[in-house]
Chains A and B, each alone.
Chain A
Amino acid sequence: MGKKTLRNKNRIGNFLLSFQWLFWISHSRPIFMVIFAFILVIKSWALESLPNENLNDQNYQILFNKIEKMRQTLAQSAQSSGPCSGKVSENCSFLEICKNFSGSEKEAYLYQDNKGHQLPNYPLLSTVSQAEACLQKPFLKAPIQDPFLYPEQFINAGKAGGKKELKRNRNKLEKEKRRAQEIFKDAQEKTISMLHKKGNPSNLGQIEALIARVKSVRLESAELGDGEVTLSAAGCEMPNAFYQRESDKVVLCPQVLNLPEGTLFQILSHELGHSIDPCTLAFSYSKNKMLGYTQNTSEFFFGANEKYEISLPAFSPQSLPIKNVLSCLESNKEMDLEVPSQSVLIQNIKKEMASDPENPYLEARVEQVSKNYNQYKYCSAISGQENIQEAFADWVSAEALNEKVSNQVNASQNKKVTFEFQLFMAGIDCENIKKASSEWASDLKHDQKNKCIDIKSTLADNSEAAKRTHPKSQDRVDQILLTKPENRKALGCLQSQTAAHGKNCEL
């Protein structure tokens, strides 16, 4: 029902209602009472018969068939998926990596290694699950039997397809957790080794401090618990991995455990990078026998406290051991990494306050920015953006990969790992993949007569939240990851960079 039609119906309702005044005037005349009782019945009919959203059977059948077909396409492609290898021309860029998905944009998996580790087509899978929610009754089974896509298959025997399958899924989960620990250890070693090599007599103390921070980080695989609620509380509502500053640990969600080795190496080394990013370095850490290293968060709210013993000291922005990398990254104007000045931030918040005077959060924010800008300007709670932290973590992961491939002589293994390294970002941000999922979404929109108009892909490029959290994937690959010489060599790129690539920033 269009807005215009709806408005017209409202007008009819109000017009009929306006006759009720006559009811008051003519209350003593029975004939008018009958007429107005009739009017009231008509009025209530007019209001009740406002748009009825039920689909007629034919439309519903069309919708159902389309969604069923999408599920079948996913299931068939999942069954027929096999190992593949990546090809990148010697110009090497994010767009070249995207070309690898040409022809497989509408498949459940975009890549699979020779051990069965896969990169799911997250945008397409999300479109289908949103489409399923439009149906009058949900499908009992997921389109694909893959517990890493549907974690309930790790918990519920019915969803897993039986007790035997449930046991198999759980064994697989434990196996992949162990593999993730090994990859994490490798990423930690390569990051430490890379930092060692950056050391010289003038910065030795600072490098040692960075190494101590990287060494202190632990990996934690999120527990499944009762499923969605436990996972959501752990930050795993969707496939996710993150560095938790408060407890100095990297949290890995079960949904990402089956990603290819190079992809997991990228995710884990990036998260390790956050342990030495400019926001984390602004805090000191204390060692606790039970909890390991914990962030002295109270510094942020109440200032430094001498009561606790500091194991990992904090750095001010002026004394950061990574300041050369930060200024190099910030000089890349394409990536929009610059942290706004204190006065600009306060000005912006005050503008917000003028339009939303009742929001106590804004007042607290002005206070925090005034008090904490100098020490914590690289933290998103102050600057309102996380791009510089993310770009720095990408720099660490690119350096860790550079270290990994320079120590390994097997060229084909190097190429595989380096290709897989870019996959997660490519898998959610390549234009051809985004286009395929939006084609499916708009195909459904077309036939639904205003139903399920909000189907969107998982891609975050249009969301306000995404703009605040990450630089664009293309920039992350071209401006940071592919600027490292060993990474380029491993991928078979020309050693001379093109204009599309950024500067190779050094510590």
Chain B
Amino acid sequence: MKALISILLFYFISGRSVYAKFIDTETFQADLNFYEIKIERTNHLGLHQEDVLMKDERGYFFNSRSLGKKIPTEIAEIWSSLEKGPDRLENGFTNRRAACSSGNYIYSKMIRTGLPGKIDQRRGCTEGKLYARIIQKIRMLKDFAGRI
């Protein structure tokens, strides 16, 4: 009985993820949930702007500003949509463009592995509804960062 209680206690106190980490300490360093996302854009006049989203063991960060370890559901939805990133095929070919007139953006996600990180890069034009939605989400994160 004592053994059963102790097993259950251990399970609830430690939690699955911590248990997984303790099995292999390397996994702790290579957690796929730790990443940095950079959304850089340069417009046709040469003006440049970038925003950086980061998640690590300390929590969520937007442009180096800490958003805390837990974020509200609606912000978490925005965050996960930005984490997923724009569709890979949303580029010069598939949206029927031979060039980006207004400028280009580069979305890059670097998964933290402790070793040189893996970078996933996507490009697109700095115009259109899909781009505006990305900017709107960035704005909502900015506003949230300003409120906390």
Interface residues of A (CB under 8 A from B): 1, 6, 10, 14, 17-18, 20, 23-24, 27-28, 30, 33, 37, 40, 44, 47, 50-51, 53-54, 122, 126, 130, 133-138, 228-230, 232-246, 251, 256, 267, 279, 283, 297-298, 300-301, 359-361, 364-365, 368, 376, 379-382, 386, 389, 424-425, 428-429, 450-454, 456, 458-460, 463-466, 468-470, 473
Contact = CB atoms under 8 A, between A and B. Distances in A.
Contact of B2 (A27, A238, A425): A27
A235 B101 contact: yes
Contacts of A468: 104
14 contacts: A10-B28, A136-B148, A232-B135, A235-B43, A237-B126, A241-B45, A242-B103, A246-B101, A300-B98, A381-B99, A452-B65, A463-B42, A465-B48, A470-B46
Closest 5 CB pairs of A and B: A235-B102, A53-B66, A460-B48, A235-B127, A233-B132
Given A138-B146, A238-B45, 11 more contacts: A23-B10, A28-B3, A130-B63, A135-B146, A232-B126, A235-B101, A235-B125, A256-B45, A279-B98, A380-B98, A454-B64
A234 B135 CA distance: 12
A228 B135 contact: yes
Nearest to A424: B45
Interface string B60-93: 0101111000000000000000000000110111
A90 to B, nearest CB: 28
Contacts of A27: 2-3, 6-7
A40 B19 CA distance: 12
A381 B92 contact: yes
A241 B127 CA distance: 12
Contacts of A237: 41, 43, 49, 126, 135
A136 B136 CA distance: 21
A386 B88 CA distance: 22
Contacts of A40: 10, 13-14
Contacts of B131: 232-233
A221 to B, nearest CB: 14
A469 B42 CA distance: 8
Contacts of B96: 297-298, 301
A233 B64 contact: no
Contacts of B103: 235, 240, 242, 465, 469
Nearest to B19: A20
Contacts of B14: 17, 20, 40
B22 A122 contact: no
Interface string B20-60: 01100100110000000000111111111110100001110
B106 interface: yes
A350 to B, nearest CB: 17
B63 A460 contact: no
Contacts of B47: 122, 238-240, 428, 458, 460
Contacts of A246: 97, 101
B100 interface: yes
A26 to B, nearest CB: 9
Nearest to B125: A235
A465 B99 contact: no
Nearest to B6: A27
Contacts of B48: 456, 458-460, 463, 465-466
A243 B101 contact: yes
Given A27-B6, A126-B49, A464-B106, A240 B135 contact: no
A245 B127 CA distance: 13
Contacts of B132: 229-230, 232-233
Contacts of A428: 45-47
Nearest to B105: A465
A44 B13 contact: yes
A33 B7 CA distance: 11
A286 to B, nearest CB: 15
